[in-house]
Each structure stands twice: as C-alpha cells, then as structure tokens.
Amino acid sequence: MAYDFSDNIQRGILYLLKSDKDFYLQIVNLVKPEYFDYPTHSKIFESVRAHYEKYGKLPIDDYIIEDVKTKLNSRETVSDYQDELQYVNNVDASTVGDSEYMLDLVENFAKKEAMKGAIADSISLIKENRMDEVEALVKKALLINRDVDTGQDYFEDLSDRWDRIFNKKHEEKYKTFLPSINKSLEGGLGAKELAMVVAPPGVGKSLFLVNQGVHSMMEGRKVLYLSLEMSEDKIAQRFDSVMTLTPQFKLKDPANQLTVKERLEMFREQFPGSELVIKEFPTGQASINTIRNLLVQLKNYEEFEPDLLIVDYLELLRPAREVQQEYQAQQKIAEELRGVAMEYNFLIWTATQTNRQGRMVKIITDAELGDSYGKIRTCDFAMSLNQSEEEFDAGRMRAFVIKSRNGRPRFTVPMEVDYGILRMSEGEEALGE
C-alpha cells in the first residue's frame, strides 16, 4: 500500500529524510520503500538508508546518484533521478517547515499499515485456531510508533530516582550458586545483563553453566540452554546428575531410571515454576538472528518465555554480519548478546575460552582472554575458573572475579567440584569468613 499523501508531501518526507538527521532517526524504521508512489522515490530512500547504515551520515545528492546508477532498470536513466532530486530539493518550504506534522503523518500511516497487515495475516491463523500467534501479531502492530524517549531529566526526576533506588523493593536478582559473589553483587545479577565465565578448554565452563542453570531453576525461573558444541541429550544428562544427585555412570543403568524420574518429579514439586528447554545448534552456524527466531518460536508454539538464556559458548556463535578478524567477531557477538538481553529483559550467561597463556597462570585475568579483549568490555560480569592438577585431583578450583559493573571485582572464591554428580559449590573457606 502506497502513501495516500500528495506528491508534494511525499517529496517533503524524502527531503527531510535525506537532509535532517533528527527526522531520519525518528522515522526511518517506520518507512518502507514500497510506501512511496514512485519507484524513483523508493530507490532514493533505499540509497539514503543504506548510506547511513554504512557510514553513519546522510549522503549528499551526488552519492545518491552514484548509488542508483547501479540499480537502474532498462526503462530508467540517471537523468530521471537527477530531475527528481531537483523536485525534492525545491519542494515548497511550507511543506517541510512543520517536521513534527510530517512525522505524525508517517507514523500514523505506518500504524494503520501494520494493523491491516496483522488483520490480514490473522484470518488464516484464526481458521487454524492459532490464537496465540494472532495475539502476537496484533501486539506487534500496536507497538509501531516513533518511541520518543528523551531520557531522564537529572534534577526534575530526582525524587522518582531516589524512590526507585531506596524506597521501592530491589528488582529480583539472579543469584549465582556462589554466595560470596552474590554478596559482592548486593544479591546477584540483574535482567538485561550479560555474564561470562572464562576458562581454558576442559576446566569446566559448560559444567559451570549447567550448575548455574540448575540454581536459577531452584529460584523458580525458566531456563533456555543453547548448546553449540554438545548434543541436547549430553547436556540433559548433566542436568540429570546435578538435579538428582545421581552419578553419571549410574544414569546409563536402566535400573536407575525410575529413581531418576522420581527425583526429577520431586525437584519440580519443590521448585514450582522452574522450566528447562535445551536446544542444540550446529557449531559455528547459529547467529544472534537464529536465537531471536528460536525465542519467537518458543513463545508462539510452546508458550515458553525464558528468564535466563545460557549460551554455551560465545566463540561458537557467528556474528550477524561478517567481520574480517576473529577478535572483532568475538566483540561483535558479545555486543549482540547483550542487545538480546536488553531486548528480552532477561539475563544471559555465556562462556569464553582463554588463550594458551591461560593454562600457565595461577589466576586467569582479562590478560588471558582468547583473541579479544573487546568482549570483556561489553559484559556486565566476568569471572574465571582456575585449577591446578593438584586441585583437580582434590575436586577443587578457584573462581576469580575479573569484572563486575555492580560489585567488587578482583577477588577469589574457593570452589568445590563433585565430579561424580557434576555439582559445583562454594568452598568452606569462603563460607566461613
């Protein structure tokens, strides 16, 4: 459906899009090329958008012409676009003088089109009794707007800010299974944050993530565990051991299956609200967009919306956009993960590898991060797992807090590991302090 505005107004919209950065940023996500009446307008808009996404600046007319030259069809000439840009640039000043009115026009049109599309798509869904998907479509259409949020006025919002910080109850925290770390975080981590565990291969990153998942389930949370290396069944067996205190070798004995099932049922009764979904993806093939698609499918088809997302592990994801260097890719993935945490209002735990030096030092710090220091800048909390051969034999290791936006960094917490049932816990030394 094309705009039902006059040619003069459509040219005014295009003029403001290509010349007024504030106007562009407020409205670009509500404009589609097919909304314009004329193909020339559509291609000009696409050129403006592509240039801004790549360079962060609005293009001059010469850049637009150079871009559209590569997209001309057999019936078009460069002069068609040169002439149209002249018309756009010479649009009546009164048309573009009230940009707020123009913004409202475009926003209202986008809202109507989104709702019409949702209604049209809902007809077949209603016939198939897929009402949850109908609801999701309508909700998405209703959210179409400019989303103008100018931020917090420091002095004017002082009372509200103090009320949020001091008088209202603290938001529910995501506790780790290490009490000393929870204490340093004033209760735990928060939603919209990215937490990271760092270790060399084979030290226990995945085991840590499983234990963290179980602890969150004991808080009544819904956990989504994404495995990019091990199979769903292998990860599930680890959860079996930690939740039922059943050694791994006994899980393979059919005689123990009834006992394991009964203990899992007791776990669910004791911790109502806890849910777990495990999903594996081929190594190196899943991206942030893959995760987003899975979240939509789980919500629409399974009515499952996680409170905690665990990604095992960071290096095995690929960035949504290709980058040249590995260190850049890892930083980009960390940034994308944190973006998903903010978008869906949940906590994300992930893991990352150290470089070779990580096996040789007593305490792993940010200096031993594999390939990319940039990923540590993005996360809100990062800790390393440290273990010597003697500690492995004794079932012990040390956690070291590398970074903490909301708490004390750079301290060590003793840990114990029961390799039979795969359960991790805080060591007695820290608990007795």
- Asked whether residue 95 is assigned to any structural domain, the reply reads yes
Question: Does the residue 167 lie in any domain?
Answer: no
Which amino acid, one-letter code, is at 186?
Answer: E
Q: Name the residue with higher pLDDT: 284 or 415.
A: 415
- Cα–Cα distance between 112 and 338 in angstroms, integer? 32
Segment 178-207, tens digit of pLDDT: 999 999 998 999 999 999 999 998 899 999
Q: What is the mean pLDDT of residues 107-125?
A: 88
- Rama region for 388: left / alpha / beta (φ>0; ψ in -120 to 50; rest): beta
Of 96, 112, 128, the residue that ends a domain is: 112
CA–CA dist 332, 317 (Å, integer): 10
Residue 430 pLDDT > 50 = no
Across the beta sheet with 222-227, what order do the strands follow?
A: 275-280, 222-227, 308-312, 347-353, 194-199, 381-386, 396-404, 412-418, 423-426
**Residue 233 above 60 pLDDT?**
yes
Of residues 216 and 99, the one with the higher pLDDT is 216
Output the domain CATH number for residue 191.
Answer: 3.40.50.300
Is residue 411 predicted with pLDDT exceeding 80?
yes
Model pLDDT, residue 394: 95
* Structural domain boundaries enclosing 53: 7-112
Q: Which residue has the higher pLDDT, 256 or 207?
A: 207
The total of structural domains in the chain comes to: 2
Residue 433 has pLDDT above 50, yes or no: no
The reported pLDDT for the residue numbered 26 is: 86
Say if residue 193 is in the same domain as residue 79.
Answer: no
| 29-46: average pLDDT | 92
Helix-, strand-, coil-residue percentages of the chain, each rounded to 5? 55, 15, 30
Does one domain contain both 315 and 406? yes
Could you tell me if residue 170 is inside a domain?
A: no
> Structure pTM?
0.65
**Bridge partners (DSSP) listed for residue 199:** 353
Q: Is the pLDDT of residue 309 over 90?
A: yes
- Above 60 in pLDDT, residue 370? no
> In this structure, is residue 254 part of a structural domain?
yes
Q: Is the pLDDT of residue 96 over 60?
A: yes
Residue 244 has pLDDT above 50, yes or no: yes
For the chain, the average pLDDT equals 88
Q: CB neighbours of 402 closer than 8 A, spacing ≥ 6?
A: 198, 364, 365, 366, 376, 382, 383, 384, 409, 410
Distances (CA, A) of 2 to 23, 42, 108, 111, 332: 20, 11, 13, 14, 37
CB 14 within 8 A of CB 105: no
pLDDT band at 313 (very low <50, low <70, confident <90, very high): confident
Same domain, 97 and 190: no
Same domain, 274 and 407: yes
Task: Considering only residues 279 and 96, tell me which one the structure prediction assigns the higher pLDDT.
Answer: 279
Q: What is the mean pLDDT of residues 29-39?
A: 91
Rounded to whole angstroms, how far apart are CA atoms 175 and 216?
7
Last residue of a domain, one of 112, 140, 160: 112
Instruction: Answer for the pair 351, 208: CB distance below 8 angstroms, yes or no.
Output: yes
280, 381: one domain: yes
Cis bond leading into 63, ω under 30°? Answer: no
pLDDT of residue 140: 78
CA dihedral 86, 88, 91, 95 (to 10 degrees): -170
